[in-house]
Amino acid sequence: MTRLLAPLAIAAMMLVGSYTFADDEVSQAGMAQQHKMMKDCMAKHAAEDTRMTKGDMEKICKEEVKSQMNNSNAMSDSPQK
């Protein structure tokens, strides 16, 4: 009986660990995408209005990125026909 429990316990730990690392990779990819979107937005607003402060651009871009991420999440969650 103990010969069966040890391999099962090891297999369960490996399965849980693989899901943990998979979640980290997905969240890192999402963060990289958000960072790129933020950088692009900041560059766009800096080119459009040179009088805008960096803080104002950050506020605007955070809202834009948040909105874009919510829209892309809503589209990916919707069922395909």
Digitized pLDDT (tens) for each residue of the chain, 81 residues in all: 667 777 777 777 776 766 555 555 557 767 888 899 999 999 998 998 888 898 999 999 999 998 988 887 777 666 655
Q: How far apart are CA 9 and CA 40, in angstroms?
A: 47
Q: How far is CA 9 from the centre of its chain?
A: 32
Q: Count other Cβ atoms within 10 Å, centred on residue 61.
A: 19
Cα-to-chain-centroid distance, residue 31: 4
Q: What is the pLDDT of residue 7?
A: 76
Query: What pTM does this model have?
Result: 0.55
